[in-house]
Chain A
Amino acid sequence: MNWAGTTGTIAGNAIAAMTPLIFAALGGLFTELTGMLNIALEGLILIGAFFGIVAASMTQSLFAGLVAGSLAAAVLAWAYGSATIRLKANIFVTGLAANIFASGLTVVLSRQWFGTKSVVAFKIPELARPFAGLLGSIPFFGPALFSHTVLVYLSWFFVIAAAVIIRRTPLGMKIRATGANAEAVAASGFRPDAYRLIAIVLSGFFCGMAGVSLSLPLAAYVPNMSAGRGWIALVAIYLGAKSPGKIALACFIFALAESYSNYAQGLFRIPAEFILMIPYAATLIALVAGSLAKRAGKAKG
């Protein structure tokens, strides 16, 4: 295999693999900005993946799948957010609740509706690849950048949209202010708790899209198909210094690790467990390296 071809394939796969990470990290960014660590991303992705593909297969509409997946995750996020904010429960414990609920409910429903606890394949329409025709024929860059499904470009659009919402709109300003100084928000006559809940519901909405962008391209639901992406997204937010553009870059680096490991598996016959380890290991290394860099920066300053 030629070098450029291999690089192009790995980069192209990384761009596809980056999509669910970007959606999840954007979701987590909203809660992070209000000062909450949202460990429920993982479960929210799973719910989105499941209900998204089920709805898409029932209606034979990909758009309906996208909407259903993100709404289902937003509903779970609302329940988890309400317990956290209205009932003043501990956010980590309610976050665990959301994760455990998601993996339990998807298994129970999968068993109930499809008679299996393992992979369920669905017949759904094919996802559009809007730029594959003309731009896709550009050598090297074409396949890597322009051959992807519409979900990939939707995630890029949302990176920009999230940046605009966060930086330029009153809602974004209040979300940021809630994290920076909740007392000041309350003193200006707004309710910080309302913005915390909005942020959690938004995180559900985005994670739902992350889930949909896992299950729709595969035309299948795989148990626990979120596979740690919610946790990787958290670390991407941290490494991306809470800025949507930098977060997308961090997501690309993690996706590159995933894509390379898939490539390496075919090449070296590595046991599957070690391939599955790579995202967790990369996330842990990034987390430690990020802390080291921060510490070094502090020592200098």
Chain B
Amino acid sequence: MSKASRGRGGVLLFTIAAALASACLLLYLFSDSFADSLFLFFVAPLTNRYYLGNLVSSMVPLIVAGMGVAFAFESRNFNLGGEGQIYGGALVATLVALNLPEGSTFVVQLLSCSAAAAAGGLIGGLSGTLKRRLGVDELISSFLISSLAVLLVDFLVTGPFQDPASNFQTTRAIAASAAFPKIFPPSSLSTGLIIGLLASLAGKAVMDRTRFGFELRLCGANREFARYAGIDSGIYTLLPMALSGALHGLAGALMVFGSYYKVMRGFSSGIGWSAIAVSLIARNNPLALIPAAAFYAYLDSGSKSVMLGSDVSSEIVAIVQAVIFLLITATALPFAERLKMAGLTRVSSIGGKR
């Protein structure tokens, strides 16, 4: 094991330990019965088929959106617009599925997912274009555009596309036949899992074995050098942001076809942010997204289980997530070797040079 990878492992282990410790601390502080809430958080999610299946099911959007984050990060672009891209993708997927004539299920799914990816890609690509053409910071613009998208979808879901038969703020549900088949009833786990796992493999192949992946990583590592090597580095601002948005949009579509069958207000509920945590834990490695998503989904289902079984608010998971964010990119933990994380050492100011 090289020095650098030991340093990474040290940071990762420390971060995970700190996350679990902070979860325990929060449960201790905020629950009436510490022992019960520990059981609900750490053990209950694994004890029955329903919880376990839902846990695995919630990994799918995390893997796919996490890959979107990874492609942006690897090229040294920051996409903070995941929330809007997922939500927008989910709405587009639902609308396409609702409006296509009933026919081949596969065609409906393919067209809906493609449309969702296109929508997410447009949202992400807009930030990429603004950065490439005008030098507008993609980090801020992706957040602002995504916030606009979230509000627009909120409006559409509760207004023009609201299900007239429902009292909830939601669209109509897609036909049951159009959804992905369940593979682990009674949980919501569906064949969408296979898509998630295949996407992870495909992402790994693209990142490591294609010219696109190589040039993208080169631009991320050293944009100046990439330019001298004759690479159009501007393209590697636009393409990774568009690809990142597309993968987020696809993640939204997979959530519709796999678990929810419709879009309700607040659909994405922080998955865009969670995907960033997953990608950071995985150090932008598409294969490592699978265990990282599993860890994250475990924390999330634990917090939901605690909320249902006791009086603790499920938002404690946000605090645990914050602990992960605070430490995961640390390169100077007292005991771990220093490590410059490629692509994540950018310190810059708004108007300054990159």
Q: How many residues of A contact B (CB 8 A)?
A: 52
Across the interface, which residues of B come within 8 angstroms of A80, CB to CB? Answer: 326
A287 & B348 in contact (Cβ 8 Å cutoff): no
Stretch at the interface among B34-42, B100-108, B144-152, B208-216: B144-152
**Interface flags, B142-160, vs A, CB<8A=1, else 0:** 0111011001101100010
Contact of A100 among B134, B145, B159, B318 (CB under 8 A): B318
**Interface flags, A223-266, vs B, CB<8A=1, else 0:** 00000100100110110000000000000000000000000000
Indicate whether A188 reaches chain B with its CB closer than 8 angstroms.
Answer: no
B345 & A96 in contact (Cβ 8 Å cutoff): no
State in angstroms the CA–CA spacing of A100 and B316 once bound together.
11
B318 & A87 in contact (Cβ 8 Å cutoff): no
B140 & A234 in contact (Cβ 8 Å cutoff): yes
B327 & A271 in contact (Cβ 8 Å cutoff): no
A98 & B322 in contact (Cβ 8 Å cutoff): yes
A287 & B136 in contact (Cβ 8 Å cutoff): yes
Indicate whether B135 reaches chain A with its CB closer than 8 angstroms.
Answer: yes
Contact of B332 among A88, A276, A283, A288 (CB under 8 A): A88
Indicate whether A120 reaches chain B with its CB closer than 8 angstroms.
Answer: no
B136 & A111 in contact (Cβ 8 Å cutoff): no
Contact of B148 among A97, A103, A281, A295 (CB under 8 A): A281
A100 & B348 in contact (Cβ 8 Å cutoff): no
A89 & B330 in contact (Cβ 8 Å cutoff): yes
Across the interface, which residues of A come within 8 angstroms of B352, CB to CB? Answer: 35
A284 & B351 in contact (Cβ 8 Å cutoff): no
State in angstroms the CA–CA spacing of A280 and B142 once bound together.
11
Which residues of A line the B interface, CB within 8 A? 32, 35-37, 39, 79-80, 83, 86-94, 96-98, 100-101, 103-105, 107-108, 111-112, 117, 179, 228, 231, 234-235, 237-238, 271, 273-274, 276-277, 280-281, 283-284, 287-288, 291-292, 294-295
Q: Can you list 18 contacts pairing A with B, beta carbon distance less than 8 Å?
A: A37-B350, A88-B338, A92-B346, A97-B322, A101-B322, A103-B315, A104-B318, A108-B313, A108-B315, A238-B350, A273-B154, A280-B151, A281-B148, A284-B145, A284-B148, A287-B136, A292-B134, A294-B351
